[in-house]
Each structure stands twice: as structure tokens, then as C-alpha cells.
Amino acid sequence: EAQVTQNPRYLITVTGKKLTVTCSQNMNHEYMSWYRQDPGLGLRQIYYSMNVEVTDKGDVPEGYKVSRKEKRNFPLILESPSPNQTSLYFCASSSATNEKLFFGSGTQLSVL
């Protein structure tokens, strides 16, 4: 089954403790992206990647890192999480020619 898999589904952590949210897709998509969703703000793009080793900032990249060493994986790294990064995070992927984003089920992160 074609899917985008994010882990974990829920995460509670404390300020300053490094964490990684994983994202994996099984559709051989070139494009992958991370969004955060906050009430009243909709979805905002954090980072995106057009292919392996090619990443670029979205609208709200501060406090996040990403890497794209393999085509299928696009982890989101919070090196020193802060409470303002409490949010619902979505990973998405697409082929270069389809323009249809496939979204994961989301990761609810709480930073205390």
C-alpha cells in the first residue's frame, strides 16, 4: 500500500532534549516536505527536499533541521526543542510530475 509513515504518532518531551521525528515513503517520490499545523494558522512549511541531498527552507525553518540521505526517508530534527514548537507535524511526499501531495497521519508533539 502506498503510504507516508511518520513516527512517533504522539511525543511528549521537555525543553532542550533533542528529538527526531521520522518520515518514510514507499512510493519512490523525489519530493518530500515537512509542515506544522497550529490552530488558526493552518499549515506552514518548515523544510522541503526536491531529491536526495537537496533540501531548502520553507516559511518557518527556525529551530529545525532536516536531512535527505536516502530517497525514502526525510527525518525532522529538533536539536533543542522549545515550548513554541508544540504543534502537529505532517510529512508529505510527491513525485516530481504529479503535483499531488501524499500526507502522513501526523505527529502530535508537546514540548514542556
Partner 1 sequence: AQSVTQPDIHITVSEGASLELRCNYSYGATPYLFWYVQSPGQGLQLLLKYFSGDTLVQGIKGFEAEFKRSQSSFNLRKPSVHWSDAAEYFCAVGTTGFQKLVFGTGTRLLVSP
Question: Which residue number, 58 or 63, has a Cβ lying nearer to partner 1?
Answer: 58
Which cell goes with 3?
Answer: 503510504
Question: Which residue number, 80 or 99, has a Cβ lying nearer to partner 1?
Answer: 99
Find the part of the chain contacting partner 1 (CB under 8 A) among 18-26, 60-68, 73-81, 94-102: 94-102
What's the CA angle centered on 34, arms 33 and 39, to 5 degrees?
A: 140
Binding mask 47-76 for partner 1 (x = CB under 8 A): -x-x-------xx-----------------
Instruction: Round to whole Å and give the CA distance between 71 and 109.
Output: 25
Site membership for partner 1, residue 34 (CB under 8 A): no
What DSSP letter does each residue of 26-79 carry, written as one string? SS--SEEEEEEEETTTEEEEEEEEEETTEEEE-S--TT-EE--SSSSB--EEES
Q: Which chain residues interact with partner 1 by CB under 8 A?
A: 4, 31, 33, 35, 40-45, 48, 50, 58-59, 90, 92, 94, 99-101, 103-106
